[in-house]
Structure 1
Amino acid sequence: MNKRENAETLALQALGWLLGQEELLPQFLGATGAAPGDLPTLAAEAEFLGAVLDFLLTDDSMVMGFCDAQGLRYEVPMQARLLLPGGAGPHWT
């Protein structure tokens, strides 16, 4: 498995975690514009998986909750995000 596949797997784990968070799920769906019925199809798209991690990374408490639940270091979601489409961000130098 390559690094990109690992990042996609992590994003799928994050999606699963978000689906289990009743208070966060409506916020996530609103932020992504996704409907619950669209998630199985969208989960196969690397761009959407990047959006999952983007949402997770908006709040330290979400990162900590996800990482604690998965037994991961807190920097892992950001590292994974960099490997998915749109994750590199602009370079200002």
Structure 2
Amino acid sequence: MILSRTNAEVIGLKAVGWLAGNDTLLPVFLGATGADEAQFRGAFGDPDFQASVLDFLLMDDAWIAAFCDAEGLDYSAPMAARAVLPGGEAVHWT
């Protein structure tokens, strides 16, 4: 799945919104990143922040499945979006 930057940012925004509404997982994210709720709310439109949320969600298949099921996305969409957002370029060691 190849996404445009706009579509990747839409998925990133959906991920931020979904995480914001998840009372169990949001504190885990905040604790892992050191961010507080004000910083979380202030950064939702930042593609770098969206990428960090996707990185966090991609750490656990259950989190990705729950997000994709809630948003009606294919399970590969978050990884595809992450690849397009800042820092998601494939690393080539050769």
TM norm structure 1: 0.89
Residues 46-72 of structure 1 deviation map (CA, whole Å, 9 limit, x = unaligned): 111110100010000000000011111
Residues 14-72 of structure 1 deviation map (CA, whole Å, 9 limit, x = unaligned): 11111111110111112222211112321122111110100010000000000011111
Name the % identity. 51
Q: CA deviation at 1:89?
A: 3.9
Q: CA RMSD in A?
A: 1.5
TM norm structure 2: 0.88
Structure 2: stretches of 5+ with no match in the other structure: none
Aligned match of 1:36: 37
Q: Which has the higher contact order (CA 8 A, sep 6+)?
A: 2
Alignment partners' CA distance in 1, 2:4 and 2:64: 20
Moved over 4 A (4+): none
Q: Where in structure 2 are the equivalents of 1:60-79 lying within 5 Å?
A: 60-79=61-80
Confirm whether residue 11 of structure 1 aligns to residue 41 of structure 2. Answer: no
Equivalenced residues, count:
92
Alignment partners' CA distance in 2, 1:51 and 1:30: 13
Aligned match of 1:26: 27
Q: Where in structure 2 are the equivalents of 1:74-89 lying within 5 Å?
A: 74-89=75-90
Structure 1: stretches of 5+ with no match in the other structure: none
Paired residue type of 1:70:
E
